[in-house]
């Protein structure tokens, strides 16, 4: 999927500024996905899961700088799909507030460390300070350096717990991980195109500098941040609390930066911010409504992980499906979606949603390839409908 270059003049960006945008991208993309999900994957699937998570994640994000050929392409995509971009930010902000709130409430299964209840407050205050300062590139570098220092202090201090799994890279590739992999690739390949911070970075850099910023940001500083996650993953899944305050500061800094940049770039209206808050409250209420201990129908997960994985369905299903059904056809220069095509898309999403629930929450990964197959089939049908509708309009014209 290559988006044609826009007619607007590309901004002039120095290579040094491009590296600054690279740090901005890396920190804005170090979400509560990159800071939490690798721990769950390592626990469930072993060390191969790190490659399944990191490779499509880093490469998929880095390629956006090449797919969107210049600033005009990013500006045009944002203008045409502004509502979807705002929804992406709304869910992302709600996701971060939920996770930081869950950590702050000392949910079962996380280490009980001193100062834990302040993590959400720290992150929120930090986000508000950043919104006032607006020195984004310098702040991103400083946040990244702070997290790097925290990671080194945590690792060198002997705080990390040994992961509770016996698999190693050479120990085989689990079948369930193989079933999960296509959905992981699907999400990480397409979600970046709805990220308001990515679109801002691409719209602020020239053709060559944009490619440099995205490639550097996601292949160097972002990968290093995931390395920190791997270091404390054992503590997260085992409840090992020694040194956990260092991790909490890391979560607050990275989460606060992500909150700030999405609040700034999304341009959410007051009603949209209210809807975001409602998402957070709904997620916390769902967590409190679920049983306190391991949940049998969720493969023994705790309530907060169930809600966490429910959020993941947005990034593994709804947002990438939107890119496939709504943005890719534009890049292929297909005609508008007919009403029947919208019905096909809606039916497809309704069919695959419970399959995603079975795969992500009930841990029945065999449902995931079938769900993705239906999404791709639905996309093929809607693409065909677009072509036929366009041909029919040309004949009648």
Q: Looking at residue 165, what is its pLDDT?
A: 47
In this prediction, residue 392 has a pLDDT band, given cuts at 50, 70 and 90, of: low
**CA 260/CA 346 separation, integer angstroms:** 33
Q: Per-domain residue ranges for the chain? A: 15-289, 294-397
- Mind listing the pLDDT tens digit for each residue in 305-351? 899 999 999 999 999 999 999 999 988 888 888 999 999 999 999 99
Q: pLDDT tens digits for 129-165?
A: 777 677 889 999 999 999 999 999 988 886 665 555 4
The whole-angstrom separation of Cα 36 and Cα 99 is: 9
pLDDT > 90: what percent of the chain?
Answer: 55
Considering only residues 211 and 301, tell me which one the structure prediction assigns the higher pLDDT: 211
Q: How far apart are CA 107 and CA 101, in angstroms?
A: 9
Asked if the model's pLDDT at residue 166 lies above 60, the reply is no
Q: Mean pLDDT check: name the lowest of 128-132, 205-209, 310-314, 364-368.
A: 128-132
Cβ–Cβ under 8 Å, residues 252 and 116: no
Q: Mind listing the pLDDT tens digit for each residue in 91-111?
A: 999 999 888 877 655 444 554
What are the residues whose beta carbons fall under 8 Å from the beta carbon of 289, sequence distance 6 or more? none
pTM above 0.85, yes or no: yes
Query: How many other C-beta atoms can be found within 10 angstroms of the C-beta atom of residue 347?
Result: 12
Taking only the tens place, the pLDDT of each residue in 250-298 is: 988 898 899 999 989 988 888 998 998 899 888 888 888 888 778 888 8
Q: Give just the sign of the alpha carbon dihedral 382, 388, 391, 393.
A: negative
């Amino acid at each position: 999927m290559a988006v044609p270059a826009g007619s607007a003049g590309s901004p002039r960006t120095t290579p040094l500024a491009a590296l600054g945008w690279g740090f901005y991208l890396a920190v804005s993309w170090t979400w509560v996905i990159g800071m939490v999900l690798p721990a769950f994957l390592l626990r469930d699937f072993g060390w191969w899961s790190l490659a399944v998570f990191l490779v499509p994640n880093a490469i998929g994000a880095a390629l956006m700088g090449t797919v969107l050929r210049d600033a005009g392409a990013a500006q045009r995509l944002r203008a045409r799909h502004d509502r979807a971009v705002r929804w992406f930010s709304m869910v992302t902000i709600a996701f971060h507030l939920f996770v930081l709130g869950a950590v702050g409430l000392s949910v079962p299964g996380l280490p009980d460390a001193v100062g834990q209840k302040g993590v959400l407050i720290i992150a929120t205050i930090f986000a508000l300070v950043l919104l006032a300062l607006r020195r984004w590139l310098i702040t991103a570098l400083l946040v990244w350096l702070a997290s790097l220092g925290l990671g080194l202090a945590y690792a060198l201090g002997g705080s990390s717990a040994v992961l509770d799994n016996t698999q190693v890279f050479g120990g085989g590739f689990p079948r369930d991980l193989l079933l999960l992999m296509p959905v992981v690739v699907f999400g990480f390949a397409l979600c970046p195109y709805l990220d308001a911070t990515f679109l801002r970075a691409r719209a602020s850099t020239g053709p060559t500098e944009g490619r440099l910023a995205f490639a550097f940001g996601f292949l160097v500083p972002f990968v290093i941040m995931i390395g920190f996650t791997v270091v404390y993953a054992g503590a997260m899944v085992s409840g090992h609390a020694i040194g956990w305050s260092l991790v909490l500061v890391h979560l607050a800094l990275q989460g606060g930066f992500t909150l700030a940049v999405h609040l700034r770039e999304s341009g959410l209206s007051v009603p949209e911010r209210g809807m975001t808050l409602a998402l957070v409250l709904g997620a916390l209420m769902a967590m409190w409504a679920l049983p306190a201990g391991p949940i049998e129908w969720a493969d023994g997960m705790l309530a907060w992980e169930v809600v966490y994985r429910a959020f993941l369905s947005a990034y593994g299903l709804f947002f990438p499906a939107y890119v496939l059904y709504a943005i890719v056809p534009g890049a292929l220069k297909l005609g508008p979606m007919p009403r029947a095509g919208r019905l096909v898309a809606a039916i497809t999403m309704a069919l695959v949603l419970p399959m995603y629930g079975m795969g992500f929450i009930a841990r029945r990964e065999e449902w995931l390839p079938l769900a993705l197959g239906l999404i791709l089939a639905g996309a093929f049908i809607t693409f065909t409908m677009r072509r036929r509708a366009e041909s029919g309009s040309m004949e009648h014209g």
